[in-house]
Amino acid sequence: MSMKQPLFRDTFLEIDLDCIAFNIRQIRAAANPGVCIAAVIKANGYGHGALEIAPVLMENGADMLAVATLGEALELRQHYPSYPILLMGLTPDDYLPYVVKNQIIQTIDRLSQARRLSQLAFEYGTTALVHIKVDTGFHRIGFPDTPQALEEMKEIFALPNLTVQGIFSHLALTSEEENERQFQRFLDVISALEAAGCRCPYHHIADSISFVDYPEYQLNMIRPGAILYGLKGFHIGHLDLKQALSFKTKISHISHIKKGEGVGYDYLWRAERDSIIGTLPFGYADGYPRNMRDKGFVSIHGQKAPLIGVLCMDQCMVDLTDIADVHLGDEAIIYGNGEHGTLDIDSAAKLAGTNKNEIVSRLTARPPRVYKKDGAITKVVLGEHF
């Protein structure tokens, strides 16, 4: 790989934008005609870089971008002044002026906040856009499924300078029976509102998993997140996807140690034979799970090099003894796509005892991000404190 921009370290993330484009096109093809796609790029695009992947999504089938926090929304708004941005999390009242001024689509779950948005929109001579969140059983945020809440939602529809663009909920995905129960509760709320003359363009409950596993829940809007990046959390359905992210580094130091010698803090790993130990310049400050000690591995020359000893903040050690002809500067693939002996994101999540979304979203701003398209580097975003 050649690049004109120096990275200032050998550890970096490589994001294949062609994979992102392929995945969103696959989602568009699988979605029902007319279904709106709100591409979820919260948490810095699940670690991939929200600003860099946003145009790829917009150009290949996304109708809207969705984020979790106001800061994420405002960052996107600075670069994309007119594109629809849905803020799926709640925003404290003190910051609602930023929502209205920047035409962010705000999620709400209480009448008082809707009134505040209505008043602000009047003061600024504009219209506030909202999606009403309904709690059908997840019990995170949302209006409860009660007669009083229904009356409050009806009042929101009547507020001046405010448009209810959508109403949505979220499945707990605990069982097919519970999913169906939640879905029917959501439909009942929509029906009750529409019976009172309260209609809005979008109804949505399907995230990545439910979109693939339960296509009947698509309604007229979906919120794909993990599948945009090639992360497969579904179990029943199928969608052909490509993992977009790789995590790479290079060997920075090689040690030759004797049988019985220890490696790392507390010598929690001791050599059972004369061994060759490689040091790699990445650690848990880069977002790699610290509990991968003695479980994780990297791929060098297509062979597995096990992580040994306690993972450090900035470095870690691997056993190179069984890898022939290894040298300083040789590439080590931390996360790959599973080919050529690499550890893919799904396998890494299982080893770390977590899910795929955490593995990628925990990747910090420190590693540079290298973006590729058509096999060539198109952009480099330097890491924090490069």
- For the annotated catalytic residues, the residue numbers are 42, 265
Q: Contact at 8 Å (CB) between 1 and 13?
A: no
10 Å CB burial of residue 333 (0-12, 13-18, 19+) is buried
Q: How far is the C-alpha of 143 from the C-alpha of 149, rounded, in Å?
A: 6
Q: Residue 335: which of 369, 312, 359 has the closest Cα?
A: 359
Sequence-ordered list of residues with C-beta below 8 angstroms from that of 52, at least 6 positions apart, any chain: 15, 17, 45, 369, 371, 379, 381
Q: How far is the C-alpha of 98 from the C-alpha of 266, rounded, in Å?
A: 51
Which residue do the tokens 């010698």 mark? 261
Q: How far is the C-alpha of 171 from the C-alpha of 138, rounded, in Å?
A: 7
Q: How far is the C-alpha of 20 from the C-alpha of 178, rounded, in Å?
A: 32
Strands 269-270 and 275-280: unpaired
Sequence-ordered list of residues with C-beta below 8 angstroms from that of 373, at least 6 positions apart, any chain: 16, 17, 18
Q: Contact at 8 Å (CB) between 48 and 17?
A: no
Q: How far is the C-alpha of 285 from the C-alpha of 301, rounded, in Å?
A: 26
